[in-house]
Structure 1
Amino acid sequence: MFNRIELGVAPQRRRWVPLVRVWIDGAEVVAEAVGEGGRGPFVDEVRDGLLHASGEARRVVLGEPECTGGCCGFVSVVVRRSGGVVEWSDWEVPYEAARLPDFHFDADQYDAELARAARLRQ
């Protein structure tokens, strides 16, 4: 069974740059890992291909806590595509955050969600 990813624009708090919310199977995984006051990916980063998955695995930084990633650590994941599956694995999270599991997405659904997210309004 595949996991399901959904991307949306976060309500603006005190930043002028819009952020993306990342839900996997209905849970907002990045926000939970960075905590209150932290940040997830910027809309422009997602539009520029931050979450693109190819056959070559690469580490993607998805956010940081309010104290900055240089202090407490970033939220990052290895993204790779293998045939019809996109995998997010080998998470690194801020030192106080709970470890995240590996996720496996249907590549067609994943690509469709990235295409939809590229059209998100700020």
Structure 2
Amino acid sequence: MKYRGSCHCGKIAFEVEGNLEQVMDCNCSLCSRRGYLLWFVPRDQLHLETPESDLSTYRFNRMHIAHYFCATCGCGPFGEALDPKGNAMAAVNVRCLEDVPLDGLKVVKVDGRSF
């Protein structure tokens, strides 16, 4: 299934394709402060519809994950990094997807503070 997503002001817009059944609720310092619910997909399943130059990037801790956000509205719609096998992955904040009922998703808690 295809989903449309964006930041709050729309300066960052994208489509992502995949089977959205579960999300990750991470308790790391960034995810817990921003309220992310993350869905992981191969990076090639996320298609940016706005210029890449509109993405602002934040990295912390080991600097492995590029957390993208909008410099205008501050919203963080997705990030990207390599998985342990070296595959490019996108971590989509499902709160930034259109028309996704969060109640129906399985939420998996992850202790990101321990990483």
TM-score, length-normalised on structure 2? 0.27
TM-score, length-normalised on structure 1? 0.27
More strand by share: 2
